[in-house]
Amino acid sequence: MLSLLRIENFALIDQLELEFGAGLNVLTGETGAGKSIILDAIDAVLGGKVSSRVIRTGTTRAMVEATFSCNSALAATLSEQEIDLIEDNSIIISREIAVTTTNIRSRSRVNGILVNRQVMSGLRERLVEITAQGQTVQVGQSAQVRDWLDMYGGDSLMQQRQLVAFDFAEYQKARILLEKRRTSERDRLQQLDLLTYQVQELKAANLSEPDELEKLLQERERLNHVVELQQMSYKVYQALYQNDDETPAAADLLGDSEATLSDMVEYDTQLQPLLDMVRDAQATLAEVARQINTYGESLEADPQRLEEVEERIQELKPICRKYGPTLTEVITYYQRIQGELAQLNDSDQSIESLEQQEKACLEKLTQVCQELTRLRRSTAIALEAELIRELKPLAMEKVKFQVEIVPTSPTAAGADKITFLFSPNPGEPLQPLTEIASGGEMSRFLLALKACFSQADDSATLVFDEIDVGVSGRVAQAIAEKLHQLGQTSQVLCVTHQPLVAAMADRHFRVDKQVITTAQSHKTNNGHPEQRTVVRVTTLDNLNKRREELAQLAGGKSAQEAMAFAESLLTQAADHRQKK
């Protein structure tokens, strides 16, 4: 139950403190007086969306604080979040909204502890339910209608829905795993084809020596220049050892040098090392001459071998361009893909086993969805009967109502599409509620729906924002009595323009706008203090004040007839309470 609401610098409210009580709390006032601002503040403190417009002009910070009484379920929720209760077992929720030059910031606290939006959302569901005639969109949403039906079904239905959510998650995991495996299988087969081809191609190339291509290129050069090499080797041989013309060869010159040095050693033995070096040079030169001569004589033109070398080079070069660029890198790549190919051929879990796993999960999901549907159909019958009972006193004696449940593909919330079907008049077929209900009929339907829910959960404060718009007379009286009935089990907060509804209030507040001049106001150009508009709320805690307000609602002024009508409304409301 909402016991206290403090508002500061919120829209047209500078400072406001409201104490609400049990039963039916009613806010009245002229159109535009600011009643909806108070409901907006309640929505904001419980995590609703806000913009910079909610901050009072001339200020940079707004604050809303709401105090709720706590029950065991709320205490358990707070305990899960490691939030302690205050001394009187109350919950104090506050939200500070600040605007900067670039953005808007807000902070929410529960009993002084900073909390995030997710925690606030969980608390909001337990603390307040706001209902307005504009909820037609929600009534037309299958997901919202489904949630309402499940909520009405109670713990057994909600537990079954949790089973569905769990099994749906397991099915999703199995389905995603299978799809990934199928995708990986396609990739595996494609990669397998590619690597198989590459291994076969590289195997056929018969790669063994990393420097084979370099050797072949050298051999090709030698075979292409056999005649030139023969000629040059013979020329070297002549220059070193035996020249055909009169020019002495290097060996002849070294022989002459050796003879001269031998004579010189006869006179000076210190030259012996030089003589030894010349003799070594002679031996080396003779060996070089012999080898070059042998090389030249061994050279032969071999067209067949040259053709073989060319073919091998033409085979290896494309391989290097494709897998290399060097033959060493090609061989390394060949060894690596052989290992990858072996891994691809050794696949893990088969697609068949994953398909069986997905099928089993789907079968289990289908079973729990079927049980959830069964529970929903049973719940729907009970809701239909109770809702019709709640609607009949609201001047809808001939109404027909049905919860339509149509099978759909399984989801985390089951396999049902749920629609509220409605027929307010005899002889008219059932049609979707949002397509056929008038504004007044939708108001009464929402009120009856909340009455059904209040039997299952009386912990939340029920807020009704002008739900009685568009109705009058007997219907307005029926709505007033239904709101009072709800107030017997739940706290009800209602914004209304109906004197019939206001007369039923256990606690009555009048909201109006006032123009004030404060000490902080700036002076205008003509020197007069600046005036500001503020929202003020008066608690009508005595009979005369209530009578005057009801007269204003009924007749627009405190005329004798209006006052008499107001008096009759209060008397009628008192009689109604005594009967209850």
Q: What is the predicted pLDDT for the residue at 455?
A: 61
Contact by Cβ (8 Å): 330, 324: yes
Upstream peptide bond of 407 is cis (omega within 30 degrees of 0): no
C-alpha dist (Å) from residue 77 to 99, 122, 152: 31, 8, 21
C-alpha dist (Å) from residue 419 to 139, 140, 401: 8, 7, 11
Q: Is the pLDDT of residue 134 over 60?
A: no
Place of tokens 């608390």: 123
Mean pLDDT of 375-382: 94
Q: What is the predicted pLDDT for the residue at 559?
A: 64
Mean pLDDT of 84-94: 81
Mean pLDDT of 429-440: 81
CATH code 3.40.50.300 for 1-115+460-539: yes
Alpha carbons 84 and 90: distance in angstroms, whole number: 10
In this structure, of 277-286, 290-299, 311-320, 523-532, the range with the lowest mean pLDDT score is 523-532
Contact by Cβ (8 Å): 27, 5: no
Q: Which of 14, 23, 162, 16 is nearest to 462 (CA)?
A: 23
What string of DSSP letters covers 2-54? Answer: EEEEEEEEETTEEEEEEE--SSEEEEE-STTSSHHHHHHHHHHHTT----GGG
C-alpha dist (Å) from residue 122 to 116, 283, 312, 508: 10, 104, 77, 30
Alpha carbons 553 and 133: distance in angstroms, whole number: 20
Q: What is the predicted pLDDT for the residue at 417?
A: 92
Q: Which two tokens stand for residue 46?
A: 């419980």
Find which of 118-127, 274-283, 469-478, 541-550 is predicted with most confidence, using mean pLDDT: 274-283
Mean pLDDT of 265-277: 89
Q: Is the pLDDT of residue 261 over 80?
A: yes
Find which of 30-34, 115-119, 290-294, 364-368 is predicted with most confidence, using mean pLDDT: 364-368
Alpha carbons 74 and 122: distance in angstroms, whole number: 10
Alpha carbons 444 and 337: distance in angstroms, whole number: 75
Greater model confidence, 497 or 555: 497
Q: Is the pLDDT of residue 519 over 70?
A: no
Contact by Cβ (8 Å): 316, 216: yes
Alpha carbons 326 and 445: distance in angstroms, whole number: 82
Q: How confident is the model at residue 151 (pLDDT cuts 50, 70, 90)?
A: confident
Q: What is the predicted pLDDT for the residue at 79?
A: 80
In this structure, of 81-85, 95-99, 274-278, the range with the lowest mean pLDDT score is 81-85
Q: Which of 59, 67, 69, 24 is nearest to 484 (CA)?
A: 24
In this structure, of 83-92, 148-157, 321-330, 571-580, the range with the lowest mean pLDDT score is 571-580
Q: What is the predicted pLDDT for the residue at 85?
A: 76
Integer-rounded Cα radius of gyration of the chain:
50
Greater model confidence, 60 or 351: 60
Alpha carbons 146 and 130: distance in angstroms, whole number: 18
Q: Is the pLDDT of residue 239 over 70?
A: yes
C-alpha dist (Å) from residue 410 to 144, 175, 406, 495: 17, 13, 12, 41
Alpha carbons 320 and 326: distance in angstroms, whole number: 6
Q: What is the predicted pLDDT for the residue at 520?
A: 56
Q: What is the predicted pLDDT for the residue at 361?
A: 94
Contact by Cβ (8 Å): 424, 436: yes
Q: Which of 396, 441, 153, 133 is nearest to 432 (CA)?
A: 441
Contact by Cβ (8 Å): 128, 74: no
Q: Is the pLDDT of residue 304 over 80?
A: yes
Strands 400-411 and 414-423: antiparallel
Alpha carbons 34 and 509: distance in angstroms, whole number: 12
Mean pLDDT of 4-16: 90
How many other CB atoms are there within 10 angstroms of residue 395's CB atom? 18
In this structure, of 265-279, 302-316, 433-447, 499-513, the range with the lowest mean pLDDT score is 433-447
Mean pLDDT of 355-364: 92
Q: Provide the edge-to-edge strand list for the sheet that holds 61-69.
A: 13-19, 2-10, 61-69, 90-99, 104-110, 113-115
Q: Where are the domains of the chain?
A: 1-115+460-539, 212-325
Q: How confident is the model at residue 499 (pLDDT cuts 50, 70, 90)?
A: confident
Residue type, 427: G
Q: What is the predicted pLDDT for the residue at 183?
A: 75
Contact by Cβ (8 Å): 47, 108: yes
Instruction: Give the mean pLDDT of the chain.
Output: 84
Summarize pLDDT for 331-349 with one digit per residue, the tens: 888 888 888 787 677 655 5
Mean pLDDT of 350-379: 91
Q: What is the predicted pLDDT for the residue at 306?
A: 83
Q: How confident is the model at residue 531 (pLDDT cuts 50, 70, 90)?
A: confident
Q: Is the pLDDT of residue 60 over 70?
A: yes
pTM for the model: 0.63
